[in-house]
Amino acid sequence: MPFTANRQFKSKPRLLSSAKGMYYQSADGREILDGTAGLWCVNAGHNHPKIVEAIQQQAATLDFAPTFQMAHPLAFQAASKLAEMSPAGLDRVFFCNDGSEGVDTALKIALAYHRVRGDAGRFRLIGRERAYHGVGFGGIAVGGIAGNRKQFGAALAGVDHLPHPLNISKNAFSKGLPEHGAELADVLESRLLALHDPSTVAAVIVEPIQGSTGVIIPPKSYLQKLRNICTKYGILLIFDEVITGFGRLGSAFAANYFDVIPDMIVCAKGLTNAAVPMGAVIINTGIYDTFMENSPKDAIELFHGYTYSAHPLACAAAIAALDVYQEEQLFERAAQISTYFEAAAHQLRELPTVKDIRNLGLVCGIELTPQEGKSTTRAYDIFEKCFWEKNILIRTTGDIIALSPPLIINKDQIDTLFSQLRDAIVEQA
Ligand code: PLP
Nearest atom in ligand 1 to 131's CA: 3
Mutation to probe ligand 1, out of 205, 212, 238, 397 (largest number of atoms < 8 A from CB): 212
Instruction: Please give the Cα distance from 235 to 328 (Å, whole number).
Output: 38
CA of 118 to the centre of ligand 1 (A): 32
pLDDT for res 214: 95
411 by DSSP, 3-state: which? helix
Instruction: Please give the Cα distance from 166 to 211 (Å, whole number).
Output: 12
Instruction: Please give the Cα distance from 346 to 422 (Å, whole number).
Output: 11
The DSSP H or E segment spanning 336 is helix 330-346
Mutation to probe ligand 1, out of 269, 271, 273 (largest number of atoms < 8 A from CB): 269
pLDDT for res 146: 86
**Second-level CATH architecture of 6-48+329-428:** Alpha-Beta Complex (3.90)
Considering only CA atoms, which residue is closest to atom 13 of ligand 1?
99
395 by DSSP, 3-state: which? strand
Nearest atom in ligand 1 to 244's CA: 3
CA of 133 to the centre of ligand 1 (A): 6
Q: Which residues of the chain have pLDDT under 50?
A: none
Nearest atom in ligand 1 to 136's CA: 16
Q: Which residues contact 19 (CB under 8 A, 6 or more apart)?
A: 25, 34, 42, 46, 47
Q: What is the DSSP string of 104-139?
A: HHHHHHHHHHHHHTT-TT--EEEEETT----SSHHH
Find out whether 124 and 235 touch, Cβ atoms under 8 Å.
Answer: no
Distance of CA 274 to the CA centre of its chain: 12
CA of 211 to the centre of ligand 1 (A): 9
Find out whether 16 and 24 touch, Cβ atoms under 8 Å.
Answer: yes
CA of 61 to the centre of ligand 1 (A): 30
Instruction: Please give the Cα distance from 255 to 275 (Å, whole number).
Output: 24
One-letter amino acid for residue 117 of the chain: R
Which residues are paired to 201 by β-bridges? Answer: 124
pLDDT for res 152: 83
Q: In terms of pTM, does the model score above 0.80?
A: yes
Considering only CA atoms, which residue is closest to atom 9 of ligand 1?
134
Q: Which residues contact 305 (CB under 8 A, 6 or more apart)?
A: 67, 68
Distance of CA 180 to the CA centre of its chain: 23
Instruction: Please give the Cα distance from 113 to 106 (Å, whole number).
Output: 10
276 by DSSP, 3-state: which? coil
CA of 303 to the centre of ligand 1 (A): 23
CA of 207 to the centre of ligand 1 (A): 10
Give the β-pairing of 279-284 and 90-96. antiparallel
pLDDT for res 153: 65
Instruction: Please give the Cα distance from 53 to 47 (Å, whole number).
Output: 10
pLDDT for res 155: 61
CA of 100 to the centre of ligand 1 (A): 6
The torsion angle over the Cα atoms of residues 425, 176, 90 and 243, rounded to 10 degrees, is 0
pLDDT for res 225: 98
Find out whether 416 and 394 touch, Cβ atoms under 8 Å.
Answer: no
The DSSP H or E segment spanning 88 is none
Nearest atom in ligand 1 to 40's CA: 8
CA of 174 to the centre of ligand 1 (A): 25
pLDDT digits (tens, 9 = 90+) for 368-413: 999 999 999 999 999 999 999 999 999 999 999 999 999 999 999 9
Annotated domain spans of the chain: 6-48+329-428, 53-327
Q: Which residues contact 362 (CB under 8 A, 6 or more apart)?
A: 247, 248, 249, 250, 334, 337, 338, 341, 404, 405, 407, 409
Considering only CA atoms, which residue is closest to atom 12 of ligand 1?
99
**Second-level CATH architecture of 53-327:** 3-Layer(aba) Sandwich (3.40)
User: Pocket residues for ligand 1 (CB within 6 Å)?
Assistant: 98-100, 103, 132-134, 207, 211-212, 240, 242-243, 268
Considering only CA atoms, which residue is closest to atom 7 of ligand 1?
134
Phi, psi of 321 (to 5 degrees): -65, -45
Mutation to probe ligand 1, out of 40, 97, 133, 140 (largest number of atoms < 8 A from CB): 133
- DSSP symbol at 156: -
Q: C-alpha angle with apex 381: 396 to 369, nearest 5 degrees? A: 70
Find out whether 98 and 279 touch, Cβ atoms under 8 Å.
Answer: yes
pLDDT digits (tens, 9 = 90+) for 323-356: 999 999 999 999 999 999 999 999 999 999 999 9
Considering only CA atoms, which residue is closest to atom 1 of ligand 1?
133
CA of 101 to the centre of ligand 1 (A): 9
CA of 223 to the centre of ligand 1 (A): 20
pLDDT for res 154: 62
Instruction: Please give the Cα distance from 203 to 44 (Å, whole number).
Output: 32
pLDDT for res 148: 85
Instruction: Please give the Cα distance from 216 to 214 (Å, whole number).
Output: 6
pLDDT digits (tens, 9 = 90+) for 153-179: 666 779 999 999 999 999 999 999 999
Q: Which residues contact 147 (CB under 8 A, 6 or more apart)?
A: none
Nearest atom in ligand 1 to 269's CA: 15
